[in-house]
Structure 1
Amino acid sequence: MTHVVADPCIRCKYTDCVDVCPVDCFHEGPEFLVIDPDECIDCAVCIPECPVSAIHADTELPANMAHFLALNQRLAATWPVITARKAPLPEAERWKNGENKLLDLEQTSGAPR
């Protein structure tokens, strides 16, 4: 089992979860984070740290976010590891309650299909 960063993280990128991860399984992209499923040890300490509830166990992903498991795996292979907390994105407060942000991100930037 692994954990997955899903839609709520997009355009927010709160990194509270990174500080508590004992194995450095988070990877950072320009507008959100992902978890490397091969590195995650399923400790779940990151889940309560996320202020937008973007992290889920892979077995508990909402059906409409199931595709984030493959997306996390694919992007973790290319994005760099992040090991320390950073400030959230400048417009995080505006985006934190948004839904279906991946679709919006794909339409506006052409990524991360």
Structure 2
Amino acid sequence: VKRLLSRKEINPNFKDGFGQTPLSWAAKNGHMDVVKLLLATAGVNADFRSSSGQTPLSLTAENGHLGVVKLLLATASVNTDSKDFRGWTLVLEVAREGRTDIVKLLLATASVDANSKD
């Protein structure tokens, strides 16, 4: 991955047929080292929204990857209150998945609006 990202013709924000970027896939699957590498790459959009409104943060949170959630929250370039195509916030999505550890983390994050309406 590192070698690929070093090539000038590689677009680190390339969208595949599912509307996902490399960061989206790495976050969704909990690949911490790849997420770190991508976040360190110039021009990577950490808050990219797919056609369904999902972001790397929402994908990793839904799948229970607490470490990657913390890493993305630390970038300060992610919107913690964005809504998906259903109008659901991240907190609602993760609560529906039963990820109480991530719900607690999100609610303790200053940028999360606990009163946001879905």
TM-score in terms of structure 2 length: 0.30
- More strand, by proportion: 1
**Highest relative contact order (Cα 8 Å, sep 6+), 1 or 2?**
1
| Greater Cα radius of gyration, structure 1 or 2 | 2
TM-score in terms of structure 1 length: 0.31
